[in-house]
Structure formats: structure tokens, C-alpha cells
Chain A
Amino acid sequence: MIEITGLTVHFGGVTPLDNVSMVFPAGTCGLIGPNGAGKTTFFNVLSGFVSPAAGSVRAFGTDLLSMANYRRARWGLRRTFQTEQAIEALSVFDNVAMVHEHCAARQSARRQEVLEAIAFVGLDGDPDERVGTLDARDRRLVEIARAVVGEPKVVLLDEPAAGLPEAETKHLSDMIQRIPEQRGALVILVDHDMSLVSACCQVTAVLDFGKLIASGPTADVLRNEHVMRAYLGTDDKV
């Protein structure tokens, strides 16, 4: 469980996160909102790339914000990026292995656990192939394999389906749903694809202009009129 209390971030005069408090229970949670709502900023606070002006983040009883950013991966916080960041110069195997070697001490089990993670995301090509030669879908899968290798506690997925065709999104959706059960991690999914979010997430929180405007069971949240308004605009604006 992740508890966010009073989280506030300022960028100059802009407040991308404004006193946000929410709770993510175990399983797969959705985080949605229009562009600029503060979703990626929220991930960046969790990753330690952005320091909040106020607020606390407790994940499974640990105060995340007091931890050096690179130590959070070892603790079990993993993420993917909106613009996919699999390391081009390395092979698929090395991409996943490098996360394992910085996050898990068990060197003896490395090869097996890395191959397990690669198989888990459904990459069936040559693990020694360089990521630079892979297509967009496979690179995303490599990035997710990096996020689930070893013993992840929290996996943040930042628009994993962006730019993927529908058939690939189906595969992605099935795989994301298996993460909590098979990899033992809490998943927070940010995406604009509402069918993906409703298929994967039991609960969903909605941000708009840095404020939490709704949260709860995904189906209820998506029917919420505030959420509709945030996405579609209000009548009087039109």
C-alpha cells in the first residue's frame, strides 16, 4: 500500500501537484487525467527526480522521500518512461541484467531471473540482440522487463500503451494484470487508453490541474461527472 499525504510540487509559479492525498492499495491502480494534470510529475516525485515542496510518501511502511533516488530501485521501486528508455547500446539480456545487478545481490540466480523477466513480458527473440535494433513494441517490453526483474515492490508504468497498435495493447493489458500476482508488485498505471485502464485497474485516481478530483473503483470513477468534465470540458465552456 502506498499512502500519499499532502503532496505539493512547485515549478516556479506553476503547481503541478497541489496538496494531493491518496492511497494506492495492492494490485493494479490507475492514475488518469488530461495532459498536464501532474501524472508524470507524480511519478517523478516517487522516483526522486523532483523534490516536493511539502507532503509525504509512505510505501509499505517506508518513507520513500528520505531515500536517495538511485537507492529506491534497490528498495523495489521501478518505473518505465513516457518516452521509452531501454538502453539502446546494450543487448536485451544486459538491459535487464543491469537492473538486476544494481538492485539484487543474488548473482548466482541472475541469469535465470533475468531470463524469467524477459519471458514474463513475452519477448521471444534472441536475448543477446541489441535493443537498438528492436521495434517500438519490443523496446517497451524490454523496459517493462527491466521494471519487473528481481523483486519489485512498486512498478510505475507511464503510458506503456502509447503508440502501440490495438493487438499489442491487448497483450500488454494481459501482462500488466499478471504483474501483481506473479511478480508481487503494486502497479500504478498512467495511460490515456481508458479501455486499458478499466481492464487492468481495480481502482483509479484522477488528477486535473494538480488536484485529485476523484478516486475509487475504476468503473465508478470513469462515470463520475467531474471526471467527464475534466476530459470533455464543461457545457458552459463550449
Chain B
Amino acid sequence: MKAVKAVDAESSRSALAERTGMAAFTRVAPARAIRWAVLVVVLVVIVLAVPVLLSTYWVQILTSVAIYSIVTLSLAVLMGRVGLVSLGQIALLAVGGWVALRLGFAFGPALPFPLLVLITGAITSVIGTLIGLPALRLSGLYLALITLMAAAAITQVLAATNFPNGGEGFLGHSSANVGNAVLARPDVMASDAGFYRVVVVVTAVMFLIAILHVNGKAGRAWAAIRQSEAAAIAAGVNVTLYKLWAFALASFMTGIAGCLLAASAGGLTTYGFPTQDSITLLAVVLMGGIYSFWGPIVSAVLLKLIPEFLKNWGLPADVLTILFGLGVLQAMTTAPAGLAVQVPKDLANLGRALTGLARKRLVRVPAPEEHAR
């Protein structure tokens, strides 16, 4: 009898929860719809209007901002969602560029561009996952060091082999100046404006893939891994699989960014991917924020747009190093417990503390007056 009653109570409670859940859904839905609508409108404006309004020079710069936002996105997902630090993303970007050029020169127009992008992503993904294998055993500083060393090794190899430029053999590079290491673009995106539009669309797709991951089964598993691997295992998460999947996804995206970079104006040069850029990338990604999807966009703007402004204002590029240094210092000092986890929490705490202080003041001020009366 008792048991039946308890079950009854339970089902009525779950029905209540169901209802409140539904209420929450209908409450959230319009806001979410509006947000998506705004995003789509902004995206359409960015895709259609920007190339018309700006000069070729700025269109090329915005193209590179979009491409690099894919790279910052990949690092932000790794660090912010899974809690893995990688200093190898710039090297993987170069790998993506190399693979794309190699395939591009090998197959020419026979290989459709979208397919080339996907294959490049897949191959880079395999390489990036291999670099990520130590992540199964290491974390934090040691993982950062391993990935940095891997990046340095890749940079060294690239300096020796160079990017394919239509030469003979497996490496496809000829020092006899056969041509630039630039990927031929199909007619649709032959103009800089056309290419810019394609890049923005691809970037949007990458963000969509990342958002779907983070809000899906993978994102929930990553959130558990980030907080406590023991808790993740106890929940039935195959930690090895999900960590490798994170590296695979991040390097897939970075590889695609490399492919787009190889097709952008001027092509690729080996000195375009110095190892220290991976550290600069980490700095701007931390500054931009690793927990929201706006963070990577801010990071890419810091990385690629701000230097152009400085150049236009006649300021030396070294100013940037100082600015990034200060920016990271600020980010780090508010995150003493661990650089990958604490930033937004601490900022929120700071905000709460400040509003608390302000409220206290407001309460305390009228008190003496009342007392005097």
C-alpha cells in the first residue's frame, strides 16, 4: 500500500517537473529564436555587404580573421570545454595548408574544392589525434609542453621540405620557383570577394559543428571530463574516446582553416607559422575567452585585425606583444586555481562581490540618518 502511494507521489511530482520543464521550454523558445534570427541576419550582412563596402585590402584581412577564428575556435573548444591545453594548433594549421596544397597540385581541378577541404580536414585530424595521444596520460603543463615540442618539430620539418608549389616528387616543392605555394581556387571564388564569402560560410559551418558538439552528448561528456575524470568514468563516459574525439575535431577544424589559408591571396610561406605563434594564439584565446562562442571571434580579431589597425596608425607591431602580455596577465590573475577552468567563474564572483558591496553601501547610507532622526 505504502509503496503504491509513494509511486503515485513520485509520478505526480515527475508530471509537475515535466510541466515546469515544458514551461521553461516555451519561455526560452522565443528568445532563442530571436537570437538565431539576429545571428542569421548579421551573417547575411557580413557575407553580402562587407565585400561591397570595403576595399580588397580589408576584405583580405577580414578573410584571414574568419580563417583564424576557426583556429581560435578549435583551441577554445579544447581548453574551455575539455580542459586540454594544446600549443600545437599553429603547426596543425601549417599541416592543413601543406596537405591541401599537396592534394591541390596532385589532382588539380579534378578534385572538387569542397571535397578537397573535407579530405584535408580528415588527414589533419588523424595527425592531430596522434599528437593528442599523450593527452591520455598527461595534462596541464606537461601536455602543453608535448604539443609545443610536436609543433616545433613540425615547423622544423616544414622549413626543410617547404610547401608544395607544383614541383616534382612527394614533397612537391621546387626551388626553381615554379610558382607560389597557393591553392588554385575554383571560378566561384576566384575574386577576393567571392573567396571571402565562401570562407565566412565555411567558418559559420565550423562554429555550428562546434556548437552542436558542445550542446550534445560529446559536450556533456567533455564537461564531466573537465571537472573530474573520476566522475566522468563513474557516469559511464569512455574518457579516452572522448578526449581523442576532441583532438580529432579540433585538428579537423584547424586543417580546414589551413586549407582555406592555402587558397587565400599570397598563399603560404614557411616563415608564416613560427612555433612561438602557438603561444601567442594561446594568449589571445585566453584573452578572448574560452567558454563562449564569441570568445574565438574576439580572439581572431585581436590576432589579425588589431595588428592592421596598429600598422595603419603607424605604431610598431611590438606594441601588440606588450598588449597581449598585459591582457593575459589580467586573465591569469583572475584565475589562480587553473587557467582553463576559473576565468569566467572568478569574473562572475568579482561582479557579485562588487554588486554586493554597492548594495551594502546603499543600505548603510540611510541608516545613520534614521538614527539621527
Question: Is the beta-carbon distance between A87 and B227 smaller than 8 angstroms?
Answer: yes
B contact face: mostly helix, strand, loop, or mixed: helix
Establish whether residues A73 and B21, one from each chain, have CB atoms under 8 Å apart when the complex forms.
Answer: no
**Distance in angstroms between the alpha carbons of A98 and B231 in the assembled complex:** 11
Contacts of A18 in B (CB 8 A): none
Select from chain B the residue with minimum beta-carbon distance to A94.
Answer: B220
Q: Answer whether residue B230 sits at the interface, using C-beta atoms and an 8 A cutoff.
A: yes
Q: In the assembly, what is the distance between CA of A112 and CA of B17, in Å?
A: 10
Q: How many residues of B contact A (CB 8 A)?
A: 32
Q: Answer yes or no: B116 CB below 8 A from chain A CBs.
A: no
Find residues 91-144 in chain A having any chain B CB closer than 8 Å to their own CB.
93-94, 97-99, 101-103, 111-112, 115-116, 118-120, 124, 126-128, 132
Asked whether A101 lies within 8 Å of B217 as measured between CB atoms, the reply is yes
- Is the Cβ of A127 less than 8 Å from the Cβ of B220? no
Chain B positions within 8 Å of A99 at CB level: 235-236
Interchain CB contact under 8 A, A102 and B221 = yes
Question: How many A residues face the partner with a CB closer than 8 A?
Answer: 41
> Are A127 and B10 neighbours in the complex by a CB distance under 8 Å?
no
Contact status B237-A70, CB under 8 Å: yes
Q: Which chain A residues numbered 57 to 98 have a C-beta less than 8 Å away from chain B? A: 69-74, 78-79, 81, 85, 87-90, 93-94, 97-98
Q: Which residue of B lies closest to A156 (CB)?
A: B234
A226 at the interface (CB under 8 A from B): no
How many whole Å from A235's CB to the nearest CB in chain B?
41
CB distance from B224 to the nearest CB of A (A): 5
Closest chain B CB from A136 CB (angstroms): 16
Q: Is the CB of A90 within 8 A of B231?
A: no
A168 interface residue per 8 A CB criterion: no
Which residue from chain A places its CB closest to the CB of B345 in the assembled complex?
A132
Q: From the candidates B7, B17, B221, B230, name the one contacting A85 in the complex (CB within 8 A).
A: B230
- Most chain A Cβ neighbours within 10 Å, of B224, B232, B234: B234
* Nearest CB of chain B from residue A196's CB, rounded to whole Å: 20
Report if B13 contacts A (CB, 8 A).
Answer: yes
Minimal beta-carbon separation of A70 from chain B (angstroms): 5
- Cβ–Cβ contact A102 & B237, under 8 A: yes
- What's the nearest-Cβ distance from chain B to residue A123, in Å? 8
A100 to chain B: closest CB distance in Å?
A: 9
* Contact status A88-B227, CB under 8 Å: yes
A106 to chain B, nearest CB (A): 14
Q: Tell me the residues in window 159-198 of chain A with beta carbons closer than 8 Å to chain B beta carbons.
A: 178, 181-182
- Cα–Cα, bound, A122→B30 (Å): 30
Contacts of A118 in B (CB 8 A): 14, 17
Q: Which residues of chain B are near A72, meaning CB under 8 Å?
A: 236
Is A216 among interface residues, defined by CB-CB distance under 8 A? no
Contact between A89 and B17, CB atoms less than 8 A apart: no
Contact residues in A for B228 (Cβ distance below 8 Å): 81, 85
In the complex the two chains form, is A119's CB within 8 Å of B10's CB?
yes
In the bound complex, residues from chain B placing their C-beta under 8 Å from that of A126 are: 20, 24
CB distance from B197 to the nearest CB of A (A): 35
Distance in angstroms between the alpha carbons of A95 and B53 in the assembled complex: 47
Does A8 sit at the interface, judged by CB under 8 A?
no
The answer for the CA separation of A123 and B230 in the assembled complex, in Å, is 24
B238 within 8 A of A: yes
Asked if A182 meets B10 with Cβ closer than 8 Å, knowing A79-B234, A89-B226, A127-B17, the reply is: yes
- Chain A 13-64 residues near chain B, CB threshold 8 A: 47-49
Which of A74, A87, A124 is B236 in contact with, Cβ under 8 Å?
Answer: A74
Assembly CA distance A198 to B37 (angstroms): 58
Contacts of A81 in B (CB 8 A): 228, 230-231, 234
Taken residue by residue from 15 to 40, chain B's Cβ proximity to chain A (1 for < 8 Å, 0 otherwise) reads as: 01110110010001000000000000
B232 proximity list for chain A (CB < 8 A): 70
A146 at the interface (CB under 8 A from B): yes
Name A98's contact: one of B10, B17, B224 (CB within 8 Å). Answer: B224
B332 at the interface (CB under 8 A from A): no
Q: Which of B13, B17, B227, B235 has the most CB of A within 10 A?
A: B235
Q: Are the CB atoms of A102 and B21 closer together than 8 Å?
A: no
Residues of B within 8 A of A94 (CB): 220
Within 8 Å by CB of B6, from A88, A115, A182, lies A182
B220 neighbours in A (Cβ, 8 Å): 87, 90, 94, 97-98, 101
10 closest A-B pairs (Cβ-Cβ)?
Answer: A73-B236, A102-B236, A85-B231, A98-B220, A119-B13, A119-B14, A89-B223, A103-B236, A99-B235, A115-B17
18 intermolecular pairs with C-beta atoms under 8 Å apart: A47-B230, A49-B233, A70-B236, A71-B236, A73-B236, A79-B234, A89-B223, A89-B226, A98-B217, A102-B236, A115-B14, A115-B17, A118-B14, A119-B17, A124-B16, A127-B17, A127-B24, A181-B3
Residue ranges of B at the interface with A (Cβ–Cβ < 8 Å): 3, 6-7, 10, 13-14, 16-18, 20-21, 24, 28, 217, 220-221, 223-224, 226-228, 230-239, 345
Contacts A103-B236, A119-B14 known; list 14 others, CB within 8 Å: A74-B236, A81-B228, A89-B223, A89-B226, A98-B223, A99-B235, A112-B18, A115-B17, A118-B17, A119-B10, A124-B13, A124-B16, A127-B20, A181-B3
